Amino acid sequence: MAILKVSRMGHPVLRQQAQPLTPAQIRQPAFQQLIDDMVDTMVDYEGVGLAAPQVYQSVRLIVLGYPDADPENPDDLPLTLCINPEWESLSEEKELGYEGCLSIPDLRGLVPRSKAVVVRALDRKGKPFTLKADGFLARVLQHEVDHLDGILFLDRMQDLSSLSFLEEYYRYWHKKED
């Protein structure tokens, strides 16, 4: 187990198209270790999602959620990992919501995302699964999959007028969201 360094905006790895993983690569102990290290890193940085390019690995792997999620609490996303994820929108509608990113520290901004998506991916054993998601989970999934295509949330903002530093976000905008 290790806590990895998180790449920040400006590092080229965040702008690359990440490579899909083969079943043989998924079985490698080093890759299984990367999964566990990414979960530890996400928890340590208090993030809700992390994509492999954010730890300098240009491969199609994302982790999201909380390892100690409370199943009774719908805001507590269960720990999920997706290898080679692909998603499709299940909704015509897009919804604006604030996002932040461990690779863009201390900023929040409003990003339009599909309200509901279906994701197809492989689990850590290489087994395919399908996940339907809406609301916050759908948002986090779209944000993390974007990282695999070299896209950051700033690229998705319609305009930059909502962009806030964290302190100002909590002071002026956090409560107005609900």
The string over 134-173, giving b where at least 16 C-beta atoms fall within 10 Å of a residue's C-beta and e elsewhere, is eeebbbbbbbbbbbbebbbbeebbeeeeeebeeeebeeee
With beta carbons less than 8 A apart as the criterion, state whether 120 and 130 touch: yes
Closer residue to Zn ion (CB): 82 or 101: 101
- Across the beta sheet with 49-51, the strand order is 49-51, 61-64, 80-89, 116-122, 128-134
Residues with catalytic roles: 144
Closest distance between Zn ion and the C-beta of residue 80, in Å?
Answer: 15
The least CB distance from residue 145 to Zn ion, in Å, is 10
Residue 62 is a binding residue for Zn ion (CB under 5 A): no
Closest CA to 81 of 103, 102, 66, 99: 66
140 binds Zn ion (CB under 5 A): no
Give the C-alpha separation, 94 to 88, whole Å.
Answer: 13
Check residue 52 for interaction with Zn ion (CB under 5 A): no
101, 111, 117, 137: which one binds Zn ion (CB under 5 A): 101
The distance of closest approach from Cβ of residue 101 to Zn ion in the complex, given in angstroms and rounded to an integer, is 3
Token readout for 176 is 């107005």
Minimum CB distance to Zn ion, residue 105 (Å): 11
Position closest to Zn ion via CB: 101
Measured in degrees and rounded to the nearest 5, phi and psi for residue 12 equal -60, -25
Does position 111 interact with Zn ion (CB under 5 A)? The reply is no
Helix (H) or strand (E) holding 130: strand 128-134
Nearer to Zn ion, 25 or 107 (CB): 107
Complex with Zn ion: residue 56 or 70, whichever CB lies closer: 56
Size of the site for Zn ion (CB under 5 A): 1
Write out the binding residues for Zn ion, residues 1-40 only, by CB under 5 A: none
**In this complex, which beta carbon is closest to Zn ion, that of residue 101 or of residue 110?**
101
The binding site for Zn ion (CB under 5 A) comprises 101
